[in-house]
Structure 1
Amino acid sequence: MVRFDRYMLSQLMWLFGFFALVLVAVFWINRAVRLFDRLIGDGQTALVFLEFSALGLPVLITRVLPIATFAASVYVTNRLSNESELTVMMSTGASPWRLARPVAVFGLISAVMMSLLSHALVPIASQQLAEREVEISKNITSRLLTEGEFLSPANGVTFYTRRVDQDGVLRDVFLSDRRNPKQRMIYTASEAYLVRNTSGTSLIMLDGLAQRLIEETFSLSTAKFQDFSFDITSLIKTEKQIVERLPYETSNHLLTDWDGTAERLGVSRGMVAEELHSRFARAAFCLVTALIGFATLLVGGYSRFGVRREILFAFVLLVALDSMRGSISGPVLGNAGMWPILYTPSMLGGLIVCGLLWWVSGGRLFRRTVQEAT
């Protein structure tokens, strides 16, 4: 039996890795397309895109981890059932409770992985991502300046530079300002610099020409300048500082300073309770998903026609339990003392698993034996 446990656990882990990799790739590609357009469109490099993608992976993995756990459990159980391996093991005297042991170990491994992600990696990565977004938003050169392209950093403003030297000098600059409906301004310069000070950011243009068109009289006036300063602070919306949020807090901070965290972030105790215990509940749900996939298919027993009906039932059951998690957060947000209800899907799923295993081990109703299937 110990050898069978190792064999089944290895199959579960291999299939879990495969499904997790496929699901993460599918969801990541969907997210990466939008992220690529936003970052590369703002003048960022491919390294920044890869950094943002890596920081978003922990959150993405937490979403697909229960699905991958369930898929691996269903696939391995279905294969062992089709190849009569489970039937042989049960005929030798192994009970369904005993056969569920490697699945339970697999579910615990998945739960540990979810715990590491939810309690530490996701908050740290989310905070780091927010910090990088603020840094990027303050990087005027990367957001505003792209060689050889006409950019519109704000409504009514068009900017163009032919080349940006390595020392930061802008060559052949064009700036059109149409924000004032009564007049239009066009600035051209052979060189320009970006200068940041305490009051904001200015574009210093050298050896250029300023043109002003009055809309009412259609009169055009021009003026040459040796140097001219144009304030571009209002063209770029940047955050002054990172706003602290509850999801950025690691679980050890929430556990050690519950009231202090709520007061510092300006949230209620119910929000802290919901955030903290939902992380534990997500880990417990991973264990339940693995056992549901196994126990539901075990009810079907062996059949030459497969266990598609049991697979569908397991999927519907999992969706029903998962949908409960979104509806039970409201009471906890209003009253922190009601945090135990966050574990309702996991506890209900555990009771269902126990009922299914008891059914298989004690009764023959809805159980197809080898003789009945053949």
Structure 2
Amino acid sequence: MFKARIIHRYILFEMLSPYFVSLGVFTFVLLMAKIMELTDLVVSRGVGLDVVGRLLMYTMPYFLVFTIPMATLLGVLIGFLRLSSDNEVVALKAAGISLTKLLPPVAALALFSWLVTSMLALWALPWGNNRFENLIYQVASTQAELALKEGSFIDTFPNLVIYIDKLPGGGVLKDVFIVDQRDKKKQHTIVAKRGKFFPAKKGKLTLRLYEGGIYAVDPQRKSPQTAAFETYDITLNAGAFVAKQRKEKHEKEMYVTELLAAMGKVNPDSKEYYLLDMELQKKFSLPFACLVMALIGLPLGIGSKSGRSWGVAVALIVFLAYYLLLSAAWSFGEGGYYPPVVGMWVPNIVFALVGVLMFRQALHEAPIPLLDKLDRLPELIRRLRHRGQDEATED
């Protein structure tokens, strides 16, 4: 018993190092992609760094829900890959320790990852999504250009339809087209070369237009009226705009109880019901992926004959295949081709079966066909590279 504890502790610490390193690296990569996306808010639209920092903090649960299963796979795979490459697994087997007796540390890491990811998916993720959306609309109440998109018609402001051809940055709008229906007796069409939002009184915004014209038709006289302007101000009720947009939560912002309550209010055959159900199933299926990835990582680490770098590549291929299957299941589930409970659990079921089969092969010390083919790839690539170099030398 004492020796088993020492071995289990040794294996656990062997997995923890690549686990936390890969978790940090993958989270940093996703975070950098989000930082590049949010940089435009600072450079072009004048949003403070404190707001961007809070937005990044609110997106962290979303990143971790995906990176923790990836880190679990890499931690187990690289940990056992190191033990296997140094023949420590062979030594353990020679000492009478079977592969099944090496499962407790793997199970401990997998359960820890599952527990953390479950808490993130059930509580932190909807909290972060809700805070992110609230902050975006809070900032939009004083900087409404954040809610605008170039090249599309925007009808979020009451009785106004706005089209902006370009958003070059600095809060400037270029080539603005507006249909103003606030006056029920007369509809105005406004065209301007430039525009910019300015904060006005509390809950108000001023959209200042430059170098344009106003076009209207008097319904009584049935004659067109035009007026040119150098500057023209339109006052908007930004507070009402924000309140209208944040009236209800999106399904990604809902907790489990809220999702169940929302599902009880809609038609079970509607698309809205499918979206709610898929979001509910995702809160449980993504954390379960930690257990599946650990199960796959163990036979991959023991059976692979390549180095750590190739182990990382194999792990990325496995998780990419999982993510593609998950995306396909989400798309088909959203279309109503099958119940969401089936679609969101198919990737876990498929990869769990593959993991069980590979573990069974490793338990009987039989070769794993898929892993053998993957292990031959580096040698095949090396031969093709040498052949290309030889042909280039001959030419």
TM-score when normalising by structure 2: 0.66
Q: Distance in 2 between matches of 1:221 and 1:31?
A: 41
Contact 2:70/2:319 (CA < 8 Å) preserved in 1? Answer: no
What is residue 249 of structure 1 aligned with on the other side? 254
What is residue 58 of structure 1 aligned with on the other side? 61
Q: Distance in 2 between matches of 1:278 and 1:246?
A: 12
What is residue 225 of structure 2 aligned with on the other side? none
Taking a change above 3 Å as real, the CA distance of residues 237 and 366 of structure 1, as seen in their structure-2 partners, is: same
Q: Distance in 1 between matches of 2:200 and 2:313?
A: 61
Q: Could you tell me the percent identity over the aligned residues?
A: 16
Please, which runs of 5 or more residues in structure 1 have no aligned partner? 144-148, 158-178, 187-191, 205-209, 215-219, 223-227, 368-374
Q: Alignment partner of 1:195: what SS? A: coil
What is residue 344 of structure 1 aligned with on the other side? 346
Q: Distance in 2 between matches of 1:180 and 1:79?
A: 67
1:356 to 355, 358, 372: 358
Q: Distance in 1 between matches of 2:364 and 2:211?
A: 91
Q: Distance in 2 between matches of 1:296 and 1:350?
A: 13
1:125 to 121, 124, 128: 128
Contact 1:325/1:345 (CA < 8 Å) preserved in 2? Answer: yes
Instruction: For residue 135 of structure 1, report the CA deviation from its aligned partner.
Output: 0.7
What is residue 163 of structure 1 aligned with on the other side? none
- Whether 2:298 is the aligned partner of 1:297: answer no
Paired residue type of 2:34? R
- Whether 2:197 is the aligned partner of 1:194: answer no
Paired residue type of 1:100? L
Q: Distance in 2 between matches of 1:185 and 1:44?
A: 21
Question: Structure 1, residues 93-139: CA drift from partner, whole Å, max 9, x if none?
Answer: 12112213211221121111221111111111101111111110111
- Whether 2:267 is the aligned partner of 1:275: answer no
Q: Superposed, which structure 2 residues align to 1:111-150 within 5 Å? A: 111-140=114-143
What is residue 288 of structure 2 aligned with on the other side? 284
What is residue 320 of structure 1 aligned with on the other side? 321
Question: Structure 1, residues 272-308: CA drift from partner, whole Å, max 9, x if none?
Answer: 22111122111111211122121123234xx6x6588
Instruction: For residue 150 of structure 1, report the CA deviation from its aligned partner.
Output: 7.2
- Whether 2:280 is the aligned partner of 1:260: answer no
Q: Distance in 2 between matches of 1:235 and 1:307?
A: 55
TM-score when normalising by structure 1: 0.69
Paired residue type of 1:32? I
Taking a change above 3 Å as real, the CA distance of residues 262 and 21 of structure 1, as seen in their structure-2 partners, is: farther
Q: Distance in 2 between matches of 1:154 and 1:185?
A: 5
Q: Alignment partner of 2:97: what SS? A: coil
Q: Structure 1 stretches (4+) deviating beyond 6 angstroms?
A: 210-214, 234-237, 307-311
Question: Structure 1, residues 22-43: CA drift from partner, whole Å, max 9, x if none?
Answer: 2211221222122022244322
Taking a change above 3 Å as real, the CA distance of residues 348 and 236 of structure 1, as seen in their structure-2 partners, is: same
Q: Distance in 1 between matches of 2:19 and 2:211?
A: 65
Taking a change above 3 Å as real, the CA distance of residues 325 and 106 of structure 1, as seen in their structure-2 partners, is: same
Contact 2:72/2:290 (CA < 8 Å) preserved in 1? Answer: yes
Structure with the greater alpha carbon radius of gyration: 1
Q: Distance in 2 between matches of 1:17 and 1:364?
A: 31
Q: Alignment partner of 2:16: what SS? A: helix
Paired residue type of 2:12? L
Q: Superposed, which structure 2 residues align to 1:66-77 within 5 Å? A: 66-77=69-80
Instruction: For residue 267 of structure 1, report the CA deviation from its aligned partner.
Output: 5.3
Taking a change above 3 Å as real, the CA distance of residues 51 and 100 of structure 1, as seen in their structure-2 partners, is: same
Instruction: For residue 312 of structure 1, report the CA deviation from its aligned partner.
Output: 5.8
Contact 2:175/2:194 (CA < 8 Å) preserved in 1? Answer: no
What is residue 42 of structure 1 aligned with on the other side? 45
Q: Superposed, which structure 2 residues align to 1:84-95 within 5 Å? A: 84-95=87-98
Paired residue type of 2:263? D
What is residue 176 of structure 1 aligned with on the other side? none
Q: Distance in 2 between matches of 1:258 and 1:180?
A: 43
Taking a change above 3 Å as real, the CA distance of residues 37 and 358 of structure 1, as seen in their structure-2 partners, is: same
Q: Alignment partner of 2:118: what SS? A: helix
Q: Alignment partner of 2:278: what SS? A: helix
Q: Distance in 1 between matches of 2:10 and 2:171?
A: 59
What is residue 35 of structure 2 aligned with on the other side? 32
Paired residue type of 2:297? G
Q: Distance in 1 between matches of 2:87 and 2:240?
A: 64
Bigger Cα displacement from structure 2, 24-33 vs 37-46? 37-46
Paired residue type of 1:195? K
Question: Structure 1, residues 201-221: CA drift from partner, whole Å, max 9, x if none?
Answer: 4599xxxxx99999xxxxx99
Contact 2:73/2:315 (CA < 8 Å) preserved in 1? Answer: no
- Whether 2:172 is the aligned partner of 1:152: answer yes
How many pairs are equivalent?
315
Contact 1:196/1:202 (CA < 8 Å) preserved in 2? Answer: no
Instruction: For residue 360 of structure 1, report the CA deviation from its aligned partner.
Output: 2.4
2:18 to 15, 18, 32: 15
Taking a change above 3 Å as real, the CA distance of residues 254 and 141 of structure 1, as seen in their structure-2 partners, is: closer
Paired residue type of 1:344? V
Contact 2:82/2:308 (CA < 8 Å) preserved in 1? Answer: no
Q: Alignment partner of 2:200: what SS? A: strand
Q: Distance in 2 between matches of 1:58 and 1:40?
A: 26
- Whether 2:7 is the aligned partner of 1:4: answer yes
Contact 2:114/2:291 (CA < 8 Å) preserved in 1? Answer: yes
Contact 2:79/2:301 (CA < 8 Å) preserved in 1? Answer: no
Contact 1:43/1:142 (CA < 8 Å) preserved in 2? Answer: no
